[in-house]
Amino acid sequence: MAVETKSLWKSHGGMQGVYTHQSEACACPMTFAVYVPPHGQGQKLPVLWYLSGLTCTHANVMEKGEYRKAAAELGVIIVCPDTSPRGEGVADAPDDWKLGCGAGFYLDATEEPWGAHYRMYSYIIDELPAVIAANFAMADMRRQGIFGHSMGGHGALVAALRNPGRYRSCSAFAPIVQPMTAAWSRPAFAAYLSADERLWRAWDAVALIEDGARLPDLLVDQGTADSFLADGLRPWLLADACAAAGVPLTLRMAEGYDHSYYFISTFMAEHVAWHARRFAT
C-alpha cells in the first residue's frame, strides 16, 4: 500500500499533496490528491471524499474547487481520487468523452474490454480507503463523508446508498441522479454492465432508493442555468424518490448558476461545513 509523493504544497497552514500508487482494483497506476489541514500531534481528523465528474481528474477540484480554506478551518481531510483508470493497456474511447478514460462512472464494469480495469467502485470503497488509512496516520476512518459533482455526484450517492453506516454524510453538486435513464449515461452503462438493464439498478441512486436503500439526510445543490439539467441531471427525480421513501433531502436550486466550477466553488465551503457538523456528532 505504499504511495509515491508527486508534489506537496503548503496551503492555509496544511499540506496539499498529489500521490500515485499501483492499484490492484484498477490494475494500473492511479493518482489521487489529499489535503491535510493543520493539526496537532496525534490528532485524528475526519475524511471527506470528493468524486469528480466526466472528463475530470483529481486536479480539477484541487485547482478550482476552493475547498482548502474551509477544510483548514474545520479540520477536515479532503481526498480527491481520479475518475477512471488510465495508461498503457487501459481501454479507452478517445472519440467519446462519456466513455472510457475520464468516465469511469464509479462502478465495477463487467463487460470487455472494460472489466479488466474499470473497477472504480471497488477502488473508491475498498482499496483507496485502505491506502489512506495506511499512509495518513491522522485520518480517522471512523468519520467519513462523501460528496461529488455530476458523474461524481452520482458516484457519491451510490457509494453512500450501497454502504449504510460507512459515511456519516453525503452531498452532491448537480448529480446524475438516475443514470440508467439519462441520455448521456445510458451508453456507458450498456458498455460497462451489459444490455441487461436490471443490472443497472445497483448503480442508480433513484433506483437504489426505490429498492429500499436509505440515507439519514442529503444535501444537493443544482444550478438553474445548467445546460445538462433537463436531459442528464433531473434532480426532481431524486426529490420524488426521497419524498416517497421518507429520506430527508435538502435540494437547493441556485438561480443562474451553470455546471462549472464557478458554481461548485461558490457553495463548496457550505458543503464542507455541512459535512463537518455531521462529523462532530
User: In a 10 Å sphere around its CB, with 0-12 CB exposed, 13-18 middle and 19+ buried, how is residue 199 labelled?
Assistant: middle
Cβ pair 168, 160 in contact under 8 A: no
Instruction: Give the active site residue among 149, 259, 271, 275.
Output: 259
| 3-state SS assignment for residue 47 | strand
State which amino acid sits at residue 26: C
Based on the residue annotation, tell me whether 265 is a catalytic residue of this protein: no
Grid coordinates given for 131? 491506502
Going across the sheet that includes 249-254, the strands are 4-11, 14-23, 28-36, 77-81, 45-51, 139-149, 169-173, 218-223, 249-254
Per the annotation, the verdict on 226 as an active-site residue is yes
| DSSP letter assigned to residue 230 | I
Active-site choice (52, 108, 226, 275): 226
- Identify residue 68 by its one-letter amino acid code: R
Q: Which of 52, 150, 169, 185 is catalytic?
A: 150
Q: Where are the beta strands (DSSP E) in 150-200?
A: 169-173
Catalytic residues: 150, 226, 259
